[in-house]
Amino acid sequence: MSIKVWSKAEFIARLRAVGTRNYHHLHPFHVRMNAGQLDREAIRGWVANRFYYQRSIPIKDAAIISNCPIREVRRLWLHRISDHDGLKPGTGGIEAWIRLGRACGLSEKEIWDERHVVPGVRFAVDAYVNFTRTKPWPVAISSSLTEMFAPDIMAKRLEAFPKYYPWVKPWGFDYFRSRVVQAKADSGEGLGLTVKYCDTPELQAAAVRALSFKCDLLWAMLDAIQLAYA
């Protein structure tokens, strides 16, 4: 008995259902963060550990591009590397996250040297980069669709941090502000490519699993951070 390709609407619904159930906005650490229940050590620990993920984003995007034989897709995806690395010193998402760390009282040196990165976070992030290197490129792209759910969590952070953590300098919130807008555009781009190129039952199912894997990975990162700091 052959398995049918899902319609576009059903495919998108299945992808969105993964985030509704499993995105890390539901994690107890994030719930406590948005309720103002974390101390300075926990906030700084989260920022320092999350940086290991942030600095790996352009590496995973480069891996996707290196596996993709379609020039038009490579052109479309290429901006994600410069978005995070920046086109010149002092720009890009990585620099914005460093500013957040400095606004929390971390030095740039201790952010970069990974002294605060806990093993569970390192393992999860490295597993994600390896996933994007070894899976078919449309499936790797689908794992990025956690961006569909990012604008809401960024908006909540922008509300919670000034309210509950006034010791964090407000000039550190540039990353949150930029992702409220950029994540919407990026997720639309990623969703369009996923729907277009995951065009068999096998690839569609793999895309849903890939997004679930990414959600699990983000959840596991917060498990490790919570165990270490909260």
Per residue in 202-226, pLDDT (tens digit) is 999 999 999 999 999 999 999 999 9
| Contact call for residues 24 and 219 (beta carbons, < 8 A) | yes
Element (H, E) at 168: none
Give the CA angle between residues 58, 188, 173 to the nearest 5°. 55
Does 3 score more than 90 pLDDT?
A: no
Global confidence as pTM: 0.95
The strand ranges marked E within the chain are none
User: What fold characterizes domain 8-229?
Assistant: Heme Oxygenase; Chain A (1.20.910)
Does 1 score more than 60 pLDDT?
A: no
Q: What is the pLDDT of residue 13?
A: 97
Per residue in 160-193, pLDDT (tens digit) is 999 999 999 999 999 999 998 998 999 999 999 9
Average pLDDT, the chain: 96
| Contact call for residues 211 and 17 (beta carbons, < 8 A) | no
* DSSP 8-state code for residue 105: T
As a whole number of angstroms, the distance between CA 50 and CA 114 comes to 10
Q: What is the pLDDT of residue 98?
A: 98
| Contact call for residues 65 and 144 (beta carbons, < 8 A) | no
At residue 60, what is the residue type? K
Does 65 score more than 60 pLDDT?
A: yes
Q: What is the pLDDT of residue 2?
A: 63
Structure tokens at 184: 């919407």
For 188-218, the DSSP string reads HHHHHHHHHH--SHHHHHHHHHHHHHHHHHH
Does 117 score more than 60 pLDDT?
A: yes
Give the CA angle between residues 222, 51, 122 to the nearest 5°. 60
| Contact call for residues 39 and 45 (beta carbons, < 8 A) | no
As a whole number of angstroms, the distance between CA 5 and CA 143 comes to 19
**CA end-to-end span of the chain, whole Å?**
51
User: For 6-18, what is the mean pLDDT?
Assistant: 97
Per residue in 38-54, pLDDT (tens digit) is 999 999 999 999 999 99
Does 91 score more than 70 pLDDT?
A: yes
User: For 83-89, what is the mean pLDDT?
Assistant: 95
As a whole number of angstroms, the distance between CA 50 and CA 45 comes to 8
